[in-house]
Amino acid sequence: MDFTFSEEQQAAVEAARAVFKGVAPDGVPSPALTPGAVAEEFDRPLWAKLAAADLLSLVLAPGYGGAGLDPIALCLVLRESAKVLARVPLLETSAVAMALERYGDAELAAELLPRVGRGDLVLTVGANGRSGHDPAELAVTARRDGDRWVLEGMHTGVPWARCADRIAIPAHTPEGRAVLALVPRTHAGLTLADQVSTSGELLAEVRLDAVRVTGREVIDGEGAWEWLRGLLATGTCALALGVGEAVLAMTSAYTGKREQFGFPIATFQAVAVQAADRYIDLRAMEATLWQAAWRIGSGAGGALPAAGDIAVAKIWASEGVRRVVQTAQHLHGGFGADTDYPLHRYHAWAKQLELSLGPAAAHEEALGDLLAAHPLG
């Protein structure tokens, strides 16, 4: 596996850095963990800049006005967005668009995907199910009724649901097969109830009461939801990496100028060792992220299914981002808790990402099951 990024991927990074340059971390100053900590809408002006820079069409095929790049390119842009805590539904919109292009109805893709690239259509997805612990597709039932599908159930903690034009709803059929329905937010029978994330973002509980959608609005290709779920998890790992890198840079700058006993505290062995440990965490997060993104995008085989590489990336991301921000808070002292200083927002984001990824122990168990089913060597 070659980790050298292509010219197109490197160009995407440069374009993203140009767009995100000067973007201030969200919600500073403000309380980090209370309702209303950040605006209810996402950053629409920034979204328009992403569209103008062709970053919303980055992963779409040229036939839909895109550049046809892969999940690695998307993760590179997501990492840059997280460094400034950009409040845009880039991961959800791009991931659902890629699933529609890969598995969905060709006519619906031709209708929706050019609008995604122009920034005119926002997509999101209910990936948490009813509780955030059980498989998301089990939270909603999908049954055929003539030429339509009928959806019943609910999803919790859906990001950007109040702003999105369509919500991708994973569901299960009576035969136990997973499907994915693209439901308009204003569709009859779909209702939203406000929820607030750990980072203060407005989420929604999405309820579906006999929601009827057309056949072409349901993606029922084999493996569609599993593929989308893996891409969402890998993209979340990219966000965790971006947050961690920004926090370590912030910590390095602070400890380099903060003096005790006439010396910068960065020169103290205890401080240097902690910073070095967190740098190692970030490099492990990065290596496992690119491995997972490469497996998703290339479809290349391996000793384990791609789910194994995704599990490893999630283990490092959820544990690593937590350790990075905890060390940063420790090395900043009381200054890090000041709401006029952006570290508290990065800490809130890191905690939300950690919770979204789930506990490392659960991913280790899943990885163990894969190893048992696919013995190595």
Say yes or no: 208 and 275 in one domain: no
How many separate domains does the chain show? Answer: 3
Say yes or no: 59 and 180 in one domain: no
Q: What is the pLDDT of residue 33?
A: 46
Q: What is the pLDDT of residue 32?
A: 45
Say yes or no: 293 and 327 in one domain: yes
Say yes or no: 273 and 365 in one domain: yes
Strands (E), 201-310: 202-214, 218-219, 259-260, 263-264
Say yes or no: 24 and 114 in one domain: yes
- What is the residue range of 61's domain? 7-120
Say yes or no: 208 and 336 in one domain: no
- With beta carbons less than 8 A apart as the criterion, state whether 38 and 69 touch: no
- With beta carbons less than 8 A apart as the criterion, state whether 111 and 166 touch: no
- Unique residue bearing structure tokens 């020169």: 267
Say yes or no: 151 and 204 in one domain: yes
pTM for the whole structure = 0.95
Q: Which of 112, 65, 73, 108 is nearest to 93 (CA)?
A: 112
Encode pLDDT of 195-230 as tens digits.
999 888 999 999 999 999 999 999 999 999 999 999
Alpha-carbon span 116 to 121, nearest angstrom: 5
Say yes or no: 238 and 354 in one domain: yes
Contacts of 376 (CB under 8 A, 6+ apart): 303, 304
| CATH code, domain carrying 245 | 1.20.140.10
* Domain end point (choices 77, 93, 120): 120
For the segment 184-203, the average pLDDT, to the nearest whole number, is: 94
Alpha-carbon span 116 to 358, nearest angstrom: 29
Within-domain flag for 2: no
225's tokens: 């939801």
For the segment 350-355, the average pLDDT, to the nearest whole number, is: 96
Q: What is the pLDDT of residue 265?
A: 83
Q: What letter would DSSP give residue 201?
A: -
Q: Which amino acid is present at 1?
A: M
For the segment 239-251, the average pLDDT, to the nearest whole number, is: 97
Say yes or no: 254 and 271 in one domain: yes
Q: What is the pLDDT of residue 377?
A: 64
- With beta carbons less than 8 A apart as the criterion, state whether 220 and 275 touch: no
Q: What is the pLDDT of residue 30?
A: 47
Within-domain flag for 108: yes
Instruction: Tell me which of 139-153, 255-269, 280-294, 304-318 is least confident.
Output: 255-269
Say yes or no: 355 and 248 in one domain: yes
- For residue 34, pLDDT beyond 80: no
Contacts 24+ apart (CB under 8 A), 337-345: 339/28, 339/29, 339/30, 339/31, 339/32, 340/28, 340/29, 341/28, 342/24, 342/25, 342/28, 342/85, 342/250, 343/247, 343/250, 344/32, 345/25, 345/26, 345/27, 345/28, 345/32, 345/85, 345/199
Alpha-carbon span 347 to 133, nearest angstrom: 23
- For residue 107, pLDDT beyond 60: yes
